[in-house]
Amino acid sequence: MGKPTVVSLFSGIGGIDLAFKQVGFEIIWANDIDKFACVTYLNNFADTDIVCADISQISAERIPKADVLVAGFPCQSFSLMGYQRGFKDPRGNLFFEIARVADAIKPKVIFLENVRNLIYHDNGRTFITIFNTLAELGYEVKYDVENACTHGNIPQERRRTFIVAFLNLEMLDRFSFPKEIELTKSIDSIINRSIKHNDIYYYSLDSKYYTLLNSRIIDKTGIYRIDDSGVAKKKYDISPTLKANMGTYHDRVPIIRDDYGIRKLTPYECLALQGFSDDFKFSGVPIEQAYKQCGNTVCVPVVKRIVDHIYKALKE
C-alpha cells in the first residue's frame, strides 16, 4: 500500500501540509488564492501541484480524490481580533467550499484548523452549522482546542481549534486528540541573541519607540511586544501569538534585546516559533509578506501530533 494522499485547500505556505508530509502522507494537490503564499509553497513543496486561484472558481472535477482533505480556512471572520461577522463575511462562507469539495471527492478524513473563537462564535451557532454540514455529508466529528505551548513544545501562546471528521465510525473511535505535554523549550532555545542581524530589524535611536523600549527592555531575557496601546509593559516568558498583521504593521512583530540592540524577530525566527524546520525557505516574496505568512500559518508540531493519531486510525 502506498502513502495515504492529501488534498489541501487554503494551503497558505503549507504548515498543515508539512505536518502531514512529516508523518508519511503524500500531498497531491493544493490550492490558495494568495500569489505570495503560492510562491513560498512552491519553493518548499516542489513535487506538489498547487493551483493559485479562487477555490470557488475551481470545479470539483479538477480536484483529485484523496484519503484526506485538509483546510486551514480563513479565520478573520471568526477571530476575536476581527469583526466576528462569521458566515455574513464572504471569507466565512468559504467553509462551504470545503463542504463542496468534500462532497465531490469523499475523503476518508477531513482535517480543519481555525481560531479558538470558532467554537464560541455567535453563541456556538457557527460551530453547530459546521458540525451539521459535515454530518449531512456522512462524517462523524471530534474537535479540540490546542495551544502551541501545551501541545507542541513550542514557546508561543497560540490556541487553535482543530476539527477531525471521519467517514468511518470505527476509525473515529480509534482516533483521539493528543494530550498536553511539558514545555521544555524556551525563547532562548530558539532565538540566538549573540548573532548580529541586518540593521533593518533593529530599532534605531530616532525611532519613536526606542526610548520607551530601551527603558522597559532592561535585560536580554524574555520577549516584548507593541500593541494597540503602545509598548506593552509586560515581559513575556514565551512569545505572544504571532499574527498576520505583522506584515501590515511592522511594529507588531515581537521584540527582543540581543547583544547588539533592540530588534524585531526575523521572519525565520517567527517560522521557528511555529515549529518549522531550518530548511524551510522564503524566496521571491517581500519581507512584509514573509511576516504575514508566519502569522497566518500553523504551529507544525501541534498539527503533527494530531496527524500521528490520524495516521494510526487510518492504518489500524
Catalytic residue numbers read: 75
Helix or strand or coil: residue 167? Answer: coil
CA distance 300 to 275: 5
- 191-198's contacts with Cβ under 8 Å and 24+ in sequence apart are 191/256, 191/265, 191/269, 191/272, 193/220, 193/256, 193/257, 193/258, 193/259, 194/258, 194/259, 195/258, 196/259, 196/260, 197/258, 197/260, 197/263, 197/266
Nearest to 289 by CA among 253, 227, 244: 244
Hey, what's the cell of 23? 508523518
Beta strands (DSSP E) in 139-287 are 140-147, 159-166, 226-227, 230-231, 255-258, 261-264
